[in-house]
Amino acid sequence: MRRDELSIESVALAYGFSDNAQFSKQFKKICGVPPSVYRIACRREERAGIA
């Protein structure tokens, strides 16, 4: 999820979810934020040299 090579939809399908909405719902339940917000935060960390 940290890298942008795959779309969030592709990640969802790779992990066996039938659609992006179900993946996003579970991701948010576990991580506290939707996958798109998580990716944005990861990019910011990378630019700041944190990750």
8 A C-beta contact, residue 4 and residue 39: yes
Measured over the CA atoms of residue 51, residue 41, residue 15 and residue 26, the dihedral's sign is positive
Position 30 pLDDT exceeds 90: yes
Residue type, 12: A
Please give the mean pLDDT across all residues of the chain.
90
8 A C-beta contact, residue 1 and residue 38: yes
Rounded to an integer, the average pLDDT of 24-36 is: 96
Which residues have CB under 8 Å from 35's CB, separation 6+? 1, 8, 11, 23, 24, 27, 28
Whose tokens are 């939809």? That residue is 9
Residue 33: what pLDDT? 97
Residue 51: what pLDDT? 57
Residue 45: what pLDDT? 87
Rounded to an integer, the average pLDDT of 17-32 is: 95
% residues pLDDT > 70 (the chain):
96
